[in-house]
Amino acid sequence: MAHDQIETMRKQIDEINLQILSLINRRAELVQELGKEKVKQGVNPFDPERERQMLTQLVENNNGPFSDNTIRHLFKQIFQASLDLMNDDNKKVLLVSRKKQPEDTVITVKGVEFGGGRPILIAGPCSVESYEQVRSVAENHVKRGLRVLRGGAYKPRTSPYDFQGLGVEGLEILKRIGDEFNLVTISEIVNPADLELATRYIDVIQIGARNMQNFELLKAAGRINHPILLKRGLSATIEEFIYAAEYILSEGNKQVMLCERGIRTYEKATRNTLDISAVPLLKQETHLPVFVDVTHSTGRRDLLLPTAKAGLAVGADGVMIEVHPDPDVALSDAKQQVNIPQFNHILDELLASGLYKEETA
Ligand code: PEP
Ligand code: MN
């Protein structure tokens, strides 16, 4: 074949490529339009019946040289790409998505801005054990310019024989101390029936890892007008985490913060594996404040400082650390909580790193 002829045929192929390109994109536009209409009507965009009809029609009209199987395969790819496009479009409308709300959600409680650009340290004991125990931590908070105090009153424990938390008595202690020291209090609620009551005692309601996909709890949390800190599930993907937050927003409550707390992997050197990339990813995908719990993710005192620095360096809105006046006798997580001097050392190092600034300064 002469060189000229090859060039001519190549030009024809290029032209056909462009025609196919324009046609599949025209097709995609129509599919998108149809998808929007289906969503409006509450119909599932995926219609296997319709796909079957299209494939049959194509094969019936196939005169080769491609085999029927090849035609089926090629068009299935086009169908799948179109369906993905529709799903992407649906994702765009998620209330938690940056595409829906480009600006950061900032949640202000007692003058503390969560997600306001200044990192916040959420610290306190694993469990509320007594007024005196929480008070020791709160006094240190005030001395060190911290504003946010955590403490569990309802503890989701692996064993039913382990300390289950003080319940309402624990919430009462948090309320008293929060008022006395002007601190923002955070505590986990595990039962939808307790949410309403909890709003009277604590400033932020935590939904823990074990309940991240407790959809009834999420929906109930969406129906109250109170800030929620949602932790990532033990084995939850980022997509599942995002959808869990969407459950809350979809019911009307927009005051939601996320907390990466490590996920289960085969690694045993740490209690969980801190998924540090989840932080920038969640910041990109959603407009919600994102925290890193360095205590439950690492389960190791020696890793609290470096992982806290890492979290802040990748853009977390703050860090959660468990601190107890006497961890050796703590009723939960005795191994990984730090005492107050150790906590203050971590705080000094974080301040020295420049990644964190005193909150009341
Ligand atoms: C907690 O923060 O008290 C807790 C139990 O954490 P998680 O739900 O992440 O395990
Ligand atoms: Mn704990």
Average pLDDT over residues 86-103: 83
Ligand 1 atom with the smallest distance to the CA of 156 is: 5
| Percent of the chain predicted with pLDDT > 90 | 90
Q: What is the pLDDT confidence band of residue 117, given thresholds at 50, 70 and 90? A: very high
- Residue 88: pLDDT over 70: no
Pocket test for ligand 1, best of 235, 296, 298 (most atoms within 8 A of CB): 296
Report the nearest-CA residue for atom 6 of ligand 1: 208
Q: Which ligand is nearest to the CA of 187?
A: 1
Residues 75/52, Cβ–Cβ less than 8 Å: no
Which residue in this structure is represented by tokens 């029927």?
Answer: 68
Average pLDDT over residues 28-53: 87
pLDDT (tens digit per residue) in 199-225 = 999 999 999 999 999 999 999 999 999
Average pLDDT over residues 28-32: 91
Q: Which ligand is nearest to the CA of 229?
A: 1
**Pseudo-torsion of CA 172, 110, 210, 121, nearest 10°?**
-110
Q: What is the pLDDT of residue 360?
A: 83
Residue ranges with strand state E in the chain:
107-109, 112-114, 120-124, 148-150, 184-188, 204-207, 228-231, 256-260, 290-293, 318-322
pLDDT (tens digit per residue) in 318-352 = 999 999 999 999 999 999 999 999 999 999 999 99
- 195 vs 48, residue with greater confidence: 195
Q: Taking the alpha carbons of 224, 229, 230, 234 in that order, is the dihedral positive or negative?
A: negative
Report the nearest-CA residue for atom 9 of ligand 1: 209
pLDDT (tens digit per residue) in 134-149 = 999 999 999 999 999 9
Kindly state if the Cβ of 263 falls inside 6 Å of ligand 1.
Answer: no
Centre of ligand 2 from the C-alpha of residue 96, in Å:
27
Ligand 1 atom with the smallest distance to the CA of 188 is: 3
Kindly state if the Cβ of 261 falls inside 6 Å of ligand 1.
Answer: yes
Average pLDDT over residues 101-123: 98
- Residue 91: pLDDT over 60: no
Q: Which of 178, 186, 175 is nearest to 152 (CA)?
A: 186
Average pLDDT over residues 152-166: 96
- Rounded to whole angstroms, how far apart are CA atoms 355 and 220? 36
5 three-state secondary structure: helix
Q: What is the pLDDT of residue 44?
A: 80
Token digits for 84? 């993905």
